[in-house]
Chain A
Amino acid sequence: MTAPLIEARGLGKRYPVVGARGDRIAALWHLLRGRPPGREVEVLAGIDLRIARGESMAVIGENGAGKSTLLKLLTGTLTPSSGSVSRHGRIGALLELGAGFHPEHSGRDNVRLAAAIHGLSGVALAEKLPEIEAFAGIGRYFDEPVKHYSSGMVVRLGFAVIAATRPDLLITDEVLAVGDERFQKKCIRWIDGYLADGGTLLLVSHSLYHVRKLCRRALWLHEGRIAAEGEAHAVAQAYEAWLEARERSEEPAAAATGRPEFHVATLALAGTDAGGALAAGTTLVVEAGLRGPPGERPHLLVGLVRADGTPVYGVSSEMDGVALAADPAGPGAWRARLCFPALALLPGRYRVRAHAMDPEALRLFDTVEREFTVRGEARELGLVRLPHHWEAP
């Protein structure tokens, strides 16, 4: 096994609490006596981590889980409260979007300093400067003060420096979330090439798509501790499942506080097995029960979305000119049954979304979701199988 580029043992971080006026001077006094700085909050504890050369690891977790703090500790801009970090090789970090650019100075000047920090200066920098300028692709803004940049441009410039310096270990914090799609692709292409050439990556991302695409391993942080660590797909899936479970547990609470005028009382999928899965090409049946004020017949809007929220198809009873059937359960109860025969969805995870609408089908009142999986093997790309055939030319 190769030596790790970075290794953390029992890493923990506590931030001092400095809300009150006297807190700062008290903290200084404690530090001068060689003690911890007074009142503290723990944001990270017991992190063991080892990244070997050539590995790619993602850190995922909610906001406030300690992801950025972990990156800062690993990079060395923060001092750990407990544990230790050992680093080998050149580390290039893009933390909190940008390499610490100064708003008053031009992009060129900021690049000079950032490059010097990454060990690139003098003649070597002069040679690389055109390459950096081209990669950033921000045109004449390169010589403008950074304060005139959009946030996307700052990230482009920061990434361009990293791309030029090719660190042994690249640590980035949500860079891919800011740039436009074209630049994102450029970054991903660069990272792909960098990884293929033996580069090492540590990435924080909220995009599980990027995590799965770029990383082989993942670390899930929850409230400052490691919740799971391992193969990226498995960890991302566990995290997704946890997110969904939490969302579900929050839904009834929201409903209780303000029950909408029209709402989806029941939503079930027929045609799926016990695990909520059905084979590609079979029939999906959506059964919904709606409630509303007596005498007002609501409409039902049903949408199919991929697990990541990408819409696939949506249709309402009003569009199709269908009136919901009265439910014998009582006045104000309605039923609907919507069939999708020979379901064209490609294998993957999807959700059915049902919305209750007013009788005029103008307002959405309620949203209820059910998840399902389409089983099968397909090498086709995209979401649905479109009818097609090949003809002899």
Chain B
Amino acid sequence: MPPAHRAVLRELLRREWRERYQGSLAGGAWLLLQPLLQLLVLAFVFGSLLPARVDTAGLSFPVFLALGLFPWLLFANAVSRGTTSYLDHAGLIARVPLPASLYVHARVLASVLVDGLGLLLVLLVLVLGFGLGPTPAGLAAALAGLAVLVVAALAFSRIAALLQVFVRDCAVLVGQLLGLGFFLTPVLYERAQLPAAFAGALAFNPLAAPVEAIRHGLSGHAGVPWVALGLSGLFAVLLLLGSIALQRRAGRHLEDFL
């Protein structure tokens, strides 16, 4: 990337950051408050209010849920914010000759950084307060899972953002699909609890393995699905290559349709 583009990316990141917290009283403190509050709510609802009867192999349910939910949110937030990147930057795209995918990358990167920091904070709380103690091998698995999620988020965002320029229904559809994906991915439940037929079908969800890799890696309560994670990683990379090919074909005409 030429240095000028790096500087622009840096400025776009600053801008994303400001857009999130500008005008709010707590400002950047929300970065810490939001995941902690979310965790508190989870612990209260599923720990005290309606103790979950899900079999979590000895893991307390709030911990089990947090280890699935925060990685999923990292993915889902990135995709839903990334989808409107081009539309939200139409003014710049019309006036400034920059590679348009820069705008998607800034969006996704900003979202991943914010949510990644939140995830780190949650993990810290889980380690200090809930007795979570990941092994180095487990941490590596979690990092690998996270990497796959980020690459997939980038690929999905690039494709959705481009389609959104041509067909404005795309953002609505992405919202619906993310809602569906939440339930089709083992966030609220464990793959082992599903009837055999459904558990097998999860193999077709490329997001299942990375979420499980993060959860199992960090908690150590079940084995890391390395093979499935590898396939998911391959899928994410292929999707990214596909998005590049798509960009090459249709991306040249963004300005005509914005």
Question: Are A and B part of the same complex?
Answer: yes
Chain A interface: which of B8-16, B114-122, B178-186, B192-200?
B8-16
A252 contacts partner chain B, Cβ-Cβ < 8 Å: no
A18 contacts partner chain B, Cβ-Cβ < 8 Å: yes
B249 engages A77 (CB within 8 Å): no
The total of chain B residues at the interface (CB under 8 A) is 31
Residues of chain A from 26 to 48 with CB closer than 8 A to chain B in the complex: 27-28, 31-32, 34, 37
Residues of chain B from 242 to 258 with CB closer than 8 A to chain A in the complex: 246, 249-250, 252-253, 255-257
- Distance of A101 Cα from B15 Cα, bound (Å): 12
A105 engages B10 (CB within 8 Å): no
- Distance of A27 Cα from B249 Cα, bound (Å): 12
Chain B CB within 10 A, most for which of A24, A75, A98: A24
Residues of B within 8 A of A109 (CB): 14-15, 18
B37 contacts partner chain A, Cβ-Cβ < 8 Å: no
A121 engages B11 (CB within 8 Å): yes
B251 shortest CB reach to chain A, Å: 9
- Distance of A286 Cα from B14 Cα, bound (Å): 68
A51 contacts partner chain B, Cβ-Cβ < 8 Å: no
Residues of chain B from 91 to 123 with CB closer than 8 A to chain A in the complex: 91-98
A24 engages B7 (CB within 8 Å): no
Given A34-B249, A101-B91, A116-B10, A18 and B257 contact (CB-CB distance below 8 Å): yes
A143 contacts partner chain B, Cβ-Cβ < 8 Å: no
A59 contacts partner chain B, Cβ-Cβ < 8 Å: no
- Distance of A104 Cα from B88 Cα, bound (Å): 12
B163 contacts partner chain A, Cβ-Cβ < 8 Å: yes
Residues of A within 8 A of B249 (CB): 31-32, 34
Given A104-B19, A116-B7, A31 and B253 contact (CB-CB distance below 8 Å): yes
Q: How many A-B residue pairs have CB under 8 A?
A: 93
A37 engages B97 (CB within 8 Å): no
Residues of B within 8 A of A117 (CB): 4, 8, 96, 98
B167 engages A25 (CB within 8 Å): yes
Instruction: Specify which of B4, B93, B94, B166 is in contact with A119 (CB 8 Å cutoff).
Output: B4
B166 engages A116 (CB within 8 Å): no
Interface string of B224-258 (1 = CB under 8 A from A): 00000000000000000000001001101101110
Residues of A within 8 A of B8 (CB): 113, 116-117
Residues of A within 8 A of B3 (CB): 119
Given A27-B166, A113-B15, A76 and B256 contact (CB-CB distance below 8 Å): no
Residues of A within 8 A of B96 (CB): 77, 93, 99-100, 117
A93 shortest CB reach to chain B, Å: 7
Could you tell me the dominant secondary structure of chain B's interface residues?
A: helix
Residues of chain A from 263 to 294 with CB closer than 8 A to chain B in the complex: none
- Distance of A119 Cα from B246 Cα, bound (Å): 29
B256 engages A37 (CB within 8 Å): yes
A24 engages B92 (CB within 8 Å): no
Residues of B within 8 A of A25 (CB): 166-167
A102 engages B15 (CB within 8 Å): yes
Residues of A within 8 A of B93 (CB): 77, 100
Residues of chain B from 1 to 53 with CB closer than 8 A to chain A in the complex: 3-4, 7-8, 10-12, 14-15, 18-19, 22
Interface string of A56-99 (1 = CB under 8 A from B): 00000000000000001001111100000000000101011011
- Distance of A105 Cα from B23 Cα, bound (Å): 11
- Distance of A25 Cα from B256 Cα, bound (Å): 13
- Distance of A32 Cα from B163 Cα, bound (Å): 11
A112 engages B11 (CB within 8 Å): yes
Residues of A within 8 A of B94 (CB): 72, 77, 95-96, 100
A121 engages B7 (CB within 8 Å): yes
B19 engages A24 (CB within 8 Å): no
- Distance of A37 Cα from B254 Cα, bound (Å): 12
A100 engages B166 (CB within 8 Å): no
A24 engages B166 (CB within 8 Å): yes
A199 contacts partner chain B, Cβ-Cβ < 8 Å: no
Residues of chain B from 57 to 108 with CB closer than 8 A to chain A in the complex: 91-98
A21 shortest CB reach to chain B, Å: 10
A183 contacts partner chain B, Cβ-Cβ < 8 Å: no
- Distance of A101 Cα from B95 Cα, bound (Å): 10
B95 engages A93 (CB within 8 Å): yes
A393 contacts partner chain B, Cβ-Cβ < 8 Å: no
B11 engages A116 (CB within 8 Å): yes
B7 shortest CB reach to chain A, Å: 4
A76 engages B7 (CB within 8 Å): no
- Distance of A79 Cα from B249 Cα, bound (Å): 12
Residues of B within 8 A of A194 (CB): none
- Distance of A24 Cα from B19 Cα, bound (Å): 30
B35 shortest CB reach to chain A, Å: 25
B214 shortest CB reach to chain A, Å: 35
A99 engages B95 (CB within 8 Å): yes
Residues of B within 8 A of A76 (CB): 97
Given A32-B250, A99-B95, A109-B15, A72 and B166 contact (CB-CB distance below 8 Å): no
Residues of B within 8 A of A24 (CB): 166-167, 257
Q: Which residue of the partner chain A has the closest CB to B92?
A: A100
B90 shortest CB reach to chain A, Å: 9
A330 contacts partner chain B, Cβ-Cβ < 8 Å: no
B1 shortest CB reach to chain A, Å: 13
A15 contacts partner chain B, Cβ-Cβ < 8 Å: yes
Question: What 10 additional pairs, Cβ within 8 angstroms, besides A31-B250, A102-B92, A116-B7?
Answer: A16-B253, A27-B166, A77-B97, A79-B252, A79-B253, A95-B94, A95-B95, A96-B94, A99-B96, A105-B15
12 contacts between A and B (CB under 8 A): A24-B257, A27-B253, A27-B257, A31-B253, A76-B97, A77-B255, A78-B255, A96-B94, A99-B96, A116-B8, A116-B10, A117-B96
Which 9 pairs show the lowest CB-CB distances between chains A and B? A76-B97, A121-B7, A100-B95, A100-B92, A28-B166, A116-B7, A79-B252, A31-B250, A113-B11
